[in-house]
Structure 1
């Protein structure tokens, strides 16, 4: 049994809804932005692992990034957003990402089927 097949057996109805909604958009070559909000402990990382394993099983690209280094370690193949997208750490009004049309990073982003960008929010 593949990792993806093992993960499928663990889906809750809520996980399955998110998973199917995102995969349907990818399969129809949509270009949607999804925002999944929830406090820690509701298994968002599980859903990210599920989506990533499915996309990778198709030999497609998914980029997993997180705002913090600790969080990026929880995502399969995860990196910090600053590292992956060449975002400068010190920002000012003239700051830009260190990428340009046609370079390797730009091509990677274009070829990606999904970018998962995990951020951490604190409870109010």
Structure 2
């Protein structure tokens, strides 16, 4: 299922999904037996454990964390937050770079953005260039790990080693941010 601590409702819905898959093998559905079909589409999670891991957040908890952190933001942090969220929600595909000395709240803004979007069940890949900064980000990974960037023998011809139809490629395509 992919959820470490699923709610009773999530577990029940996933059970319905599994039953539906079994019935589909016999050209039947849950509605044939007057049962309610699953409310969520679990197919991607069932097929891709990397995707399931990224969806293993409790949206209500994520929304609460985001709301609490938004209240703590200064004007500049809130402006950056609002611009990033608007870009994601409008699917603009913009690139943002937060610049500032250590301790100015860059990671705080990134984490608040991640909480806010995960509260909407958006897949957020928190990626950083170093292991230290990746540890500060909620669910953070290094760019080398996430994108399979070669470390040794890097040349102008080097490319990321992610096969087009791999589970990792599917995760990256599904990401909202």
TM superposition score normalised by structure 2: 0.61
Q: Which residue of 1 aligns with 2:94?
A: 32
Q: Distance in 2 between matches of 1:37 and 1:3?
A: 24
| 2:173 paired residue among 110, 118, 121 | 110
Q: Which has the higher contact order (CA 8 A, sep 6+)?
A: 1
Q: Which residue of 1 aligns with 2:123?
A: 61
Structural mapping, 1:1-124, within 5 Å: 2-90=64-152, 91-114=154-177
Q: Which has the larger share of strand?
A: 1
1:96 Cα deviation from its structure 2 partner: 1.5
Q: Distance in 1 between matches of 2:122 and 2:71?
A: 22
1:21 Cα deviation from its structure 2 partner: 0.6
1:70 Cα deviation from its structure 2 partner: 1.3
Q: Which sections of structure 2, spanning at least 5 residues, go unmatched? A: 1-60
Q: Which residue of 1 aligns with 2:35?
A: none
TM superposition score normalised by structure 1: 0.85
Count of residues paired in the alignment: 114
Q: Which sections of structure 1, spanning at least 5 residues, go unmatched? A: 115-124
The superposition leaves residues 61-115 of structure 1 with CA deviations (integer Å, 9 ceiling, x where unpaired) of 111111111111101001111111111111124321111222212221111111x
Q: Which has the larger share of helix?
A: 2
Q: Distance in 2 between matches of 1:57 and 1:42?
A: 25
